[in-house]
Chains A and B, each alone.
Chain A
Amino acid sequence: MDFLIGLFEFALSRQGRVFGAVAEHTWYVASVLVSAAFIAVVTGVLTRKNQLAKELSLSVASVFLTIPSLALFVIFIPLVGLGFVPSFIALLLYSLLPILRNTITGLDGIDTGVLESAKGMGLSPIQVLTRVQLPLAWPVILAGVRVSSMLIVGLAALATLVAGGGLGDFIKDGLARLPLPNSLESIWLGTLLCLILAVIIDLILQALRVATISKGIR
C-alpha cells in the first residue's frame, strides 16, 4: 500500500514528464499503425493474384519479426541518426506481419460465388476490390491491426534506447538508478502506463470495429 502511494506521489511530482512521455508513446502507436496498415494492405492487394509474390512478401515480413528487437532499434542509427526516426522504422517493420498476414487471409477467404456474381454483374476489377473484397476482408484486417497495436505499445518502450522518448524513459531511468529511492517506482510507472495505454487503444479499435463493419458480417 505504501508502495502504491509512493508511486502515485512519484507520478504527481512529475506530471509534465508523464504527459510528455504518454503523448510520445501514443504518437508512436498511432503513426506506426496507420503507416503499417497502409503498407500491408497495399502489399496484400497488389500481391493478391500472385501466389509467389504473396509468399515472398510474407517471408520478408516474417524476417523483420525475427530480428532481435534490441538490435533493430540501433542498426538504423548510421542511416537516420537518433530519436524518432529509427524507432519509427523499427516499430513499423515489426508491425507489418500481423496486418499483412490478415490482409492476405481476409482477401483469400472471400466466397468465390460472391466474387463471381460481382464480376458477372459488371463491376470493374477496381469496383470488385473496393466494394466487395476490401469491405469483406476488413474485419480480418482490423483483427491484424489489433494484434500489431498491442505489439507496438510494448515495443515502443525500447525507443528510449535511441533517444526516441516515450514511456520507456521511465523504465530506463529506473533501471539505471536501481536500487536508489524512486527507481522501482519509475519502472512501475512506465509499465503501468503502457498497460493502460494498451487497454485504451484496444477500446478505440473495438469501437472502430463496431463503427466500420457492416451488420451483415458482424
Chain B
Amino acid sequence: MSDVLIRLENIVKSYGPDLDPAVDNLDLEVQRGEVLVLVGPSGCGKSTTLRLINRLIEPTSGRIVIDGEDVTDVNPSELRRKIGYVIQQVGLFPHRTIAENIATVPNLLGWKKKDIATRVDELLELVSMDPDTYRDRYPKELSGGQAQRVGVARALAADPDVLLMDEPFGAIDPITRDRLQNEFLRLQSEVKKTIVFVTHDIDEAIKMGNRIAILREGSEIAQLDTPEAILAHPADEFVESFLGSGAILKGLTLKKVSDTELHQVPILTAPVMREEALKELQESPDQVGLLLDSNGRPLRWIDERALNRTSQPIEKSGRPVTVDLQPEDTLQDALTVMLQSSAGMACVTDRRGKYLGCTTIESLAKLIMSDGQG
C-alpha cells in the first residue's frame, strides 16, 4: 500500500535573496489514494506548497515527481490538465453554463461531445445535483455550497489521479460546510483519489485527513502523521499549541460509536403491563429502561418515577427517544446526543432502526482513558 504518487524533493521557493524563503527545503511524499492535509497558521506556506505541485508557482530549486515522472520541467498547462484543482473562491466561469464549466478540461483534452455530455451528467449526480435542473444554469444562479459542488465536479471531470484542494470549504457557512465535508468523505470513499488538502482549520484537518502535515513558517513540517497519532502524541510545543485545548474532544471525531462497548439497559417491549415494567426496573442496577415497539425500535425512556407519577398507559409515560445513533456515527455525535438526552445516555440502532444497545458517558471515558495509556 505504501505507494508514493507525489514526491517533493528539496523544494525551495524564494522570492528574493533578502527574504526568508516561503518554502525552505521541503521534502514531502503523498501516498496513492490518501488524503494528506496540510495545515498551519496563515503565512506558513501551505498554499504555496500546494501550488508548487501543479506548478502554478515554479520552485526556485528542487524536484517534483508525480507517478515516477519528473514533472519539474514539463509543459505546465499539460501537467495541470492531469491534476484536479479546487480553490476557496471556486472560480467558476460566470459566462459558461454549469455543464460547460464542468466540461472545461475534457474539452481541452479533445473528448468527443457525446462522452463529455455523459460525463457531465455523471459528475452532477456524483455531487448530488440533479443534472436536468442544473446542467444549463449559470454560476450566478447557484448558492455558495452548490458552486463549490460544481467546483469539485469540474476538478474531477477528466478523472485525474491527483486532486489539489486549497481551503475548498473555507468561504462556506458552518452548516453547509459540515454537510460538504461529509459529502466529500463519501465521495472520496467512492473515487479514491490522491488528495492534497490545505486548510487552516485543525478540526477540518482531523476530520478530512488520512494523514496530517502540520506546517510552521517556511513550510517546515512540524509533524506528519495520522490524526490519531498527532492528537495522542504532539511532537512539540508548536503542534500542541496549534491543536489547542480540547485535543481529547477533537479525538472523538475520529472514533466511532462501534468502538465503544455498548451498555444494555432493561428492555420493555410494548405492549407491556405496568407491574411487569416496574418489577423489571427495580431488579436492574440502572435507573432507567427503554421501551421498544414490536419491531424493536426504541420509543421512550422509562423510569420508576415516571411510571408511578401517572396512571397513563405506559406508551405515554417517560420521555420520547428523539435521536438515535448508528454504529458508524462519531463519538462526538454520541456525546452531543448524550448531553441532550434526559437519560444521560444515547441509544444505538442499526440501519433499520432496531435497538442494539446504549452508549454511556462511562464507556466513552473508558475508551479515552485506554487511548491515553496506549
Interface residues of A, Cβ cutoff 8 Å to B: 111-124, 127, 132, 135-136, 213-217
Distance from A115 Cβ to chain B, minimum over Cβ atoms (Å)? 8
A217 contact set on B, CB distance < 8 A: 94-95, 140
> Is the beta-carbon distance between A113 and B78 smaller than 8 angstroms?
no
A122 contact set on B, CB distance < 8 A: 77-82, 105, 108
> Is the beta-carbon distance between A121 and B80 smaller than 8 angstroms?
yes
Q: A113-B87, A117-B91 are in contact. Are A215 and B104 (CB under 8 A)?
A: no
Distance from A198 Cβ to chain B, minimum over Cβ atoms (Å)? 29
Q: Any chain A CB within 8 A of the CB of B181?
A: no
CB < 8 Å: which of B90, B95, B97 contacts A113? B90
CA distance A117 to B173 in the complex (A): 22
> Is the beta-carbon distance between A114 and B56 smaller than 8 angstroms?
no
A135 contact set on B, CB distance < 8 A: 95
CA distance A216 to B104 in the complex (A): 16
> Is the beta-carbon distance between A111 and B97 smaller than 8 angstroms?
no
Residue-wise interface mask of B (76-112) relative to A, using a CB-CB cutoff of 8 A (1 in contact, 0 not): 0111111001011111111111000000110010000
13 other A-B residue contacts (CB within 8 Å) besides A114-B93, A120-B85, A135-B95 = A111-B91, A113-B88, A113-B91, A114-B91, A117-B92, A120-B80, A122-B79, A122-B81, A213-B95, A214-B95, A214-B96, A216-B97, A217-B95
Interface size on B, residues (CB 8 A): 30
Q: Any chain A CB within 8 A of the CB of B138?
A: yes
CB < 8 Å: which of B81, B89, B94 contacts A216? B94
Distance from A147 Cβ to chain B, minimum over Cβ atoms (Å)? 23
CB < 8 Å: which of A111, A113, A115, A121 contacts B108? A121
Q: Can you identify 6 A-B contacts, CB atoms within 8 angstroms? A: A117-B89, A135-B95, A136-B93, A215-B138, A216-B94, A216-B97
B151 contact set on A, CB distance < 8 A: 117
> Is the beta-carbon distance between B77 and A123 smaller than 8 angstroms?
yes
Number of A-B contacts (CB under 8 A): 79
Q: Which residue of B lies closest to A117 (CB)?
A: B91
Q: Which residue of B lies closest to A126 (CB)?
A: B77
CA distance A116 to B108 in the complex (A): 17
Q: Is the interface of A mostly helix, strand, loop or mixed?
A: helix
B104 contact set on A, CB distance < 8 A: 121, 123
CA distance A136 to B93 in the complex (A): 9
> Is the beta-carbon distance between A136 and B87 smaller than 8 angstroms?
no
> Is the beta-carbon distance between B87 and A120 smaller than 8 angstroms?
yes
Q: Any chain A CB within 8 A of the CB of B318?
A: no
CA distance A195 to B88 in the complex (A): 50
> Is the beta-carbon distance between A132 and B89 smaller than 8 angstroms?
no
Q: Which residue of A lies closest to B137 (CB)?
A: A216
Distance from A33 Cβ to chain B, minimum over Cβ atoms (Å)? 23
Q: Any chain A CB within 8 A of the CB of B326?
A: no
A213 contact set on B, CB distance < 8 A: 95
> Is the beta-carbon distance between A119 and B93 smaller than 8 angstroms?
no
CA distance A120 to B82 in the complex (A): 10
Q: Any chain A CB within 8 A of the CB of B46?
A: no
Q: Any chain A CB within 8 A of the CB of B154?
A: yes
CB < 8 Å: which of B56, B82, B140, B154 contacts A119? B56
CA distance A24 to B354 in the complex (A): 87
> Is the beta-carbon distance between B80 and A216 smaller than 8 angstroms?
no
A127 contact set on B, CB distance < 8 A: 108
B164 contact set on A, CB distance < 8 A: 120
Q: Any chain A CB within 8 A of the CB of B54?
A: yes
Q: Which residue of A lies closest to B96 (CB)?
A: A216
B140 contact set on A, CB distance < 8 A: 216-217
CA distance A118 to B91 in the complex (A): 8
B95 contact set on A, CB distance < 8 A: 135-136, 213-214, 216-217
CB contacts under 8 Å to A, within B58-78, are: 77-78
Q: Which residue of A lies closest to B89 (CB)?
A: A113
